Structure 1
Amino acid sequence: MSTKPIVVFGATGKVGSKVAKTLLSQGHSVRLVARDAARLQPFAEQGAVVIPALFSDTDRLNKALAGADVVLTMIPSNHLAPDFIGEQRQAADSQVAAIRASGIKNVLNLSSAGAHVPEGNGILQALAEMEVKLNELPRLNVLHLRPSYYLENAFYSLSLIKQKGINGLPIDGDRAFPMIATQDVAAVIAEKLVHFNVIGKAVLPLLGPRDYSLREFTTGLGTAIGRPDLPYVRFTPEDTKAGILASGGSERFADLYVELMVATDRGLLNFERRTPETTTPTTLSEFAERVFAPAYQAS
């Protein structure tokens, strides 16, 4: 076990928090970086070094990397931001600048399926750009992880399912693509951080156990909550945008989200090749029963 610290940016996120929990349970030296240090207090009590920092604060990020062996980078998503991509680009540029200044040699970058194209991928655009920016740094070893559609995106449908008795997106219900649980993403990240062995630049897609259509996805969620006949409704892009705006999302975010949904309907998330290494274990039914159903009942 290396005595050098492992740094986790975005440690309060749905993936980063799980990574932090795993690393601490294994006894590793961990530095956790996030805007809200109070939310990291439970990890501090377990021995983590907590560093409050905004993603725009290059100096703080640089200090967090001092003497570290490897860092997990990521870009937060703020659906309220009027300039969604601009805010994400700033977060990416600050992290890249901190990495360059610190001299750290190993980076595990949490990207996304769909980041293989530079445009037309909506809210994933800045992730694609960050891959390029990291790849341009000489003498830096980088592993870009590209997980597909998170099963946890089902949480965004909780009120729709409860209030309207339907689930829906602006995508053909028979369109199938890989779906993955964040616990599986976090498990891979923790393992790769501890045993980082990339020389140069590399990409690892993470695709869950198999592809699911959105009708299968909806049926799986419905079955877990006692509503196996829960219908899937294909929304129009216009209705989707209106719903995002009504919930407080910015117009720029709404436009980019719809762009991603249209691209997904055309096969954007079906690009990556499935192999044993890109396949992860948690199934839709396991997620729906263990994670979604309790959240639904508590909502």
Structure 2
Amino acid sequence: MKEDKRPILVFGATGRQGGAVAEALLKARWPVRAIVRDIAAPKSVALRQAGAELVEGSFADLDTFRAGMDSAHGVFSVLPANLSETEEVRIGCGIADLAAESGVAHLVYSSGASSGDTPTGIARFDAKPRIEAHIRWLPVTATIIRPMIFMDMLINPAFGLSEGRYTFFLRPDQSMQLIAVEDIGKFVAAIFADGIRFSGRTIKIASDTVTGRQLGEIFSEAAGRPVIYSRFADEVLAANSDLGQLAAILDNGPLADHVDLAAMREINPEIISFRAWLATQRHQAFDALIGSDRTSHSA
């Protein structure tokens, strides 16, 4: 990387996505400015020690981000998952407006693979296409990424791993695509490195494809004992609107779409499979659910 590269301003830098992006950019020798709420917090201090410049800012006052965008090459925008739909739209559009006003060369917005033309009825999903539409209207070079389902989200007590089973939304032979959060950072670093190629594009990104049956097999292998896979019963999905909506999105909605993993590897040659991720990346969360007698397996 040339030494005269201008910095990338990274939102959510102490969180999962933003942290992965900051790490990947620093590894690629981009100067990173990290938006943080508290510069004295341990994660903020770790970012500074890794080489990032810290910028203190608050979503309550978007104007605090203006100085961070001064002379920046790019902005990576990702928002917390706990915002209301109204707040998410306000903040997401406001960050994009500031990027356009500041004249940054490239805005990368992390949306979601559930985004589409038809509302899902789930607020955290339906805010994102509204932000996407606003970004496309602005005079700024932008790339929108839509990460598929996070691998981390599958390691959830609600799905029954502690009981030797895994109950999820997929039928046994139905497939879905997943992404490792670490891979999001690598995709974003590749996008900033080749802005002309990715200018104006909206890209779904994924690391692996798995079926329901394969989930049972992978969990069994990682646990060292059988984990029985099943789909939520139809009556359970019918009785719980949130579960039913998620199943519908996987059955016939945006999450039913699959991206070409070969094309993903062209952008990020290091994409990681769910089997490899489970074996090497998230031992503690998985071990806590399946017990201490886990047998280690290599990917």
TM class by smaller structure? 0.7 to 0.9
- Are residue 264 (structure 1) and residue 250 (structure 2) matched? yes
Alignment of 1:80-91 (within 5 A): 84-91=84-91
Q: Would the aligned equivalents of 1:115 and 1:127 in 2 still touch at CA under 8 Å? A: yes
Once the two structures are TM-superposed, the CA of residue 4 in structure 1 deviates from its matched residue by: 0.8
Q: Distance in 2 between matches of 1:126 and 1:151?
A: 22
Q: Distance in 2 between matches of 1:142 and 1:70?
A: 9
For residue 277 of structure 1, the aligned residue among 247, 263, 266 is: 263
Once the two structures are TM-superposed, the CA of residue 66 in structure 1 deviates from its matched residue by: 0.9
Cα distance change on mapping 1:215 and 1:117 into 2, 3 Å: farther
Alignment of 1:1-299 (within 5 A): 1=2, 2-37=4-39, 38=41, 39-78=43-82, 84-120=84-120, 122=122, 123-138=124-139, 140-157=140-157, 160-162=160-162, 164-198=163-197, 200-209=199-208, 211-235=209-233, 236-237=236-237, 255=242, 258-274=244-260, 276-279=262-265, 281-298=271-288
TM-score, normalized by length of structure 1? Answer: 0.82
Cα distance change on mapping 1:228 and 1:34 into 2, 3 Å: farther
Q: Distance in 2 between matches of 1:208 and 1:160?
A: 24
Q: Would the aligned equivalents of 1:172 and 1:265 in 2 still touch at CA under 8 Å? A: no
Once the two structures are TM-superposed, the CA of residue 132 in structure 1 deviates from its matched residue by: 0.7
TM-score, normalized by length of structure 2? Answer: 0.82
Once the two structures are TM-superposed, the CA of residue 183 in structure 1 deviates from its matched residue by: 1.6
Q: Would the aligned equivalents of 1:141 and 1:199 in 2 still touch at CA under 8 Å? A: no
Q: What whole-Å deviation, never above 9, does each CA across 1:79-100 have from its counterpart, x for those lacking one?
A: xx5xx31232232132123223
Q: Would the aligned equivalents of 2:111 and 2:146 in 1 still touch at CA under 8 Å? A: yes
Give 2:111's aligned amino acid: S
Once structures 1 and 2 are overlaid, which stretch shifts more, 27-36 or 181-190?
A: 27-36
Cα distance change on mapping 1:184 and 1:125 into 2, 3 Å: same
Cα distance change on mapping 1:55 and 1:238 into 2, 3 Å: farther
- Please, which runs of 5 or more residues in structure 1 have no aligned partner? 242-254
* Counterpart secondary structure, 1:133: helix
Cα distance change on mapping 1:298 and 1:234 into 2, 3 Å: closer
Q: Distance in 1 between matches of 2:49 and 2:178?
A: 34
Instruction: Give RMSD over aligned pairs.
Output: 2.6
* Counterpart secondary structure, 1:205: strand
Once structures 1 and 2 are overlaid, which stretch shifts more, 142-151 or 186-195?
A: 186-195
Q: Would the aligned equivalents of 2:172 and 2:229 in 1 still touch at CA under 8 Å? A: no
* Counterpart secondary structure, 1:174: coil
* Counterpart secondary structure, 1:23: helix
Give 2:32's aligned amino acid: V
Q: Distance in 2 between matches of 1:282 and 1:17?
A: 18
Moved over 6 A (4+): none
Instruction: Count residues in correspondence.
Output: 278
- Please, which runs of 5 or more residues in structure 2 have no aligned partner? 290-299
Q: Distance in 2 between matches of 1:146 and 1:13?
A: 17
Whose RCO is larger (CA < 8 A, sep 6+)? 1
1:247 match:
none
Give 2:226's aligned amino acid: P
Once the two structures are TM-superposed, the CA of residue 292 in structure 1 deviates from its matched residue by: 3.6
Q: Distance in 1 between matches of 2:118 and 2:11?
A: 24
Q: Distance in 1 between matches of 2:138 and 2:51?
A: 32
Q: Would the aligned equivalents of 1:7 and 1:68 in 2 still touch at CA under 8 Å? A: yes
Cα distance change on mapping 1:229 and 1:155 into 2, 3 Å: closer
* Counterpart secondary structure, 2:115: coil
